[in-house]
Chains A and B, each alone.
Chain A
């Protein structure tokens, strides 16, 4: 079964801390991976998309890496702020399909 797993399910950190969110997937042949942010009751905001030919992608304080051989991706958030509090989801098109398979997300709380 093609799966995406995110660890931890929840994370609480003090403001200013650097943190890493983890995502693992079962298909080493993926052609891209996306990280999303979701605020409570809202839709998904695309943060970063990493193509299979890339190893990293950066946007502001966010940096995402992709290691297809180990089936892992990480989202690094530098100097976290209370406004970063949200659920972060990773998703990839597994099994040669275009449909995205999502993890359950990591709920991040940044405390002032």
Chain B
């Protein structure tokens, strides 16, 4: 079991550019959530995808968008990058069984905006 995988590992962009981050969930999982973690802070929920639809969204602007594919993998897109978007972006996968909902995280993508 490969667990949750994310690509790329690191990314450097300049202000105003656009970026796409990718995530493959743990085998058997069909729900993918994205989180942003600034330095020294806990992760903040961006959104969650299930059955190729955005099911929940956190307090992030429309510049942040996503997609889920039929194989359950997911992409996070950020447009018009700001310096404040520099963070570790984490993907988590889970099964939609409410009583458990144990979330498994990937290694993250470190985004630096210059």
Interface residues of A (CB under 8 A from B): 4, 31-32, 34, 36, 41-46, 49, 51-52, 89, 91, 93, 97-105
Contact = CB atoms under 8 A, between A and B. Distances in A.
A99 B45 contact: yes
Given A31-B101, A43-B90, A51-B99, A100 B108 contact: no
Interface of B: 4, 6, 33, 35, 40-45, 48, 55-56, 58, 88, 90, 92, 94, 96, 98-108, 110
> Which among B6, B96, B108, B110 has the highest number of chain A CB atoms within 10 Å?
B108
B71 to A, nearest CB: 21
Given A31-B98, A42-B107, A44-B105, 17 more contacts: A31-B99, A32-B100, A34-B102, A43-B90, A45-B105, A49-B100, A51-B100, A89-B42, A98-B48, A98-B98, A99-B33, A99-B56, A100-B35, A100-B43, A100-B92, A102-B43, A104-B42
A93 B56 CA distance: 12
B40 A99 contact: no
Given A43-B107, A89-B42, A105-B42, A98 B101 contact: yes
Contacts of B104: 46
Contact of A42 (B48, B99, B108): B108
B100 A100 contact: no
> Which among B4, B48, B105, B106 has the highest number of chain A CB atoms within 10 Å?
B105
Nearest to A107: B40
A91 to B, nearest CB: 7
Given A98-B98, A99-B58, A41 B110 contact: yes
B19 to A, nearest CB: 18
Nearest to A96: B98
A104 B44 CA distance: 10
Contact of A100 (B103, B107, B110): B103
Contacts of B94: 98
A103 B44 CA distance: 10
| Shortest beta-carbon contacts, A-B, top 5 | A102-B42, A44-B105, A99-B45, A43-B107, A43-B108
